[in-house]
Structure formats: structure tokens, C-alpha cells
Amino acid sequence: MNTQASAPEAADPGPLELAEKGRRAGKEILLDRRLFMKFTAFGGCTDPQSAIKALEKEGVVGALYLDANDSQGIGLMVASEDPAFFVTGLRTVLNQGPFAEFAHKPEFDMLGRTYSIGYENDLEDTLFVKPRTKLTNPEHQWAVWYPLQRAKKFQTLPADHQRRILAEHGTLAKRYGAGGHAADVRLACHGLDKNDNDFIVGLLGPTLHPLSAIVQEMRKTEQTSQYLDSLGPFFIGKVAWQSKP
């Protein structure tokens, strides 16, 4: 006779829901779609126009930047709802001339996805329209792209404390955005980043100084000073080409 007590069965969590969530008129809204964005950097590019022609021929959606820290460097951010594009159409472009002749800089590789926080009332706008508009806005001539790794202890904080910490960064974004100084693109890269980074951030604007200033201000926030393990590497570039908005 088996006298051992059987282990209690785990509660059934119900069907898995992977859709992005928002709220409209007090009700939850769902959208099981999101935009993927991939950043790649190269050296040895003496003719950016040849790269631009290759991107336009393939109909790539994104932006090409001249690397401020490398006189022959470029950076490419590409957006696609279908991540298969990165291993089909974009792969073809990058394996042919002129990109095949450039020197790939793997330290800048970034792959992320747009996401919702749960309170947005227009998920299409949050996940697709705003990120692509910011990326291809002709007024956004400068960009700083970088990954970040959040400290694991952040997840152990009470939910209210987490919200207060994130609200600090939200306030900064509003201040810089209100004056047209900077716009931000935030991407999640959990499980997509070879260095285990959690997020990718793009700071975009008409001039470079405000993008540096917002990073400087972020140093003082609770999240950056206490709950980040790493930031960067930072890619700083000026627009050489943007796909049509």
C-alpha cells in the first residue's frame, strides 16, 4: 500500500496568450503582431551610395547611418513584421555587393521586437506606426542605438516600485520629446540577443547633443544607477538614407 501523499496538482493557467495587450474604454485589447528590428554595422564602406542603391532595390524599410566613430563605418537598422525577412531578402542583400565587401562589426549586432506595456489604447500605432515613423522621419538626422541589460534583482521588486522606476524614464522621454529634441524607440530582445541583453534603445533627433544629454540625465535615475548591469556598445550615426515614410 502506497502511503506517500501525492503531490498537489498545479493550477491550470489556461490557454497561453502571447498577444500584445492594451486598454481601450476600460477593456483589454489584444493584437498578436509586432515589428521586428535588426541593427547591423560595417566598416570599410567608402561608397555609401552603392549600399543605398542595394537597399532601395530590395525595398528595405529602415535607415542607413554614417558611423561618427569610423570614417568608413556604416550602421543599418531594418524593420519588418516578418522576422523571416532577415534571413531571406535582407540576407540576400548583405551577401551580395557591395555589402559582401564590407567588414562586419558583430559587436553592434542587435535584434529586437516592439512590445506593449498594457495600457496603450492603440496597439497598431504603438507597435508599428510610431517605431517606423520615428525611424524614417527626415527630421531625425542623428541616432544613438544601444542595448541594455537590466539587473536581475529588478524583477524581485514590488510591481508598484517597478512602475515608479520606469516612470522616471517616461518623464525624461516626454520632456525631450515635447521640445522635438529626441524621440525614442524601445525594443525587447529577451532571448534574441547573443549577450543576454534585455532591451534595445534608439535615441533619434535633429541634432546630436540632446541625445547625449538624455543619456547623461538617465545616469541619475534609479533604474540606471541601481538596476542596470550594462549599457552599450553605443553606435552613433548620422542619416545617409531613410526609406520613404
Digit-coded pLDDT (tens) for 122-137: 999 999 999 999 999 9
pLDDT of residue 150: 84
pLDDT tens per residue across span 71-88? 999 999 999 999 999 999
46: Cβ contacts below 8 Å, ≥ 6 apart: 72
pLDDT of residue 179: 87
9 pLDDT higher than 80: no
49 pLDDT higher than 60: yes
- Banded pLDDT at 7 (limits 50, 70, 90): low
pLDDT of residue 3: 53
Question: Which alpha helices (H) appear in 3-141, and where do they start and end?
Answer: 48-58, 89-94, 123-124, 130-136
More confident residue, 95 or 12: 95
How would you class 139 by CB atoms within 10 Å of its CB: exposed for 0-12, middle for 13-18, buried for 19 or more? exposed
228 pLDDT higher than 80: no
**Mean pLDDT, range 24-47, rounded to an integer:** 96
Name the CATH superfamily, with its identifier, for domain 33-242. Answer: Apc35880; domain 1 (3.30.70.1030)
CA–CA separation, 60 and 244 (whole Å) = 10
CA–CA separation, 223 and 33 (whole Å) = 29
pLDDT of residue 10: 66
Report which secondary-structure segment, H or E, holds 214. helix 209-218
223 pLDDT higher than 80: no
**Mean pLDDT, range 206-231, rounded to an integer:** 86
pLDDT of residue 171: 78
pLDDT of residue 8: 61
For the chain, the structural domain boundaries read: 33-242
CA–CA separation, 87 and 92 (whole Å) = 8
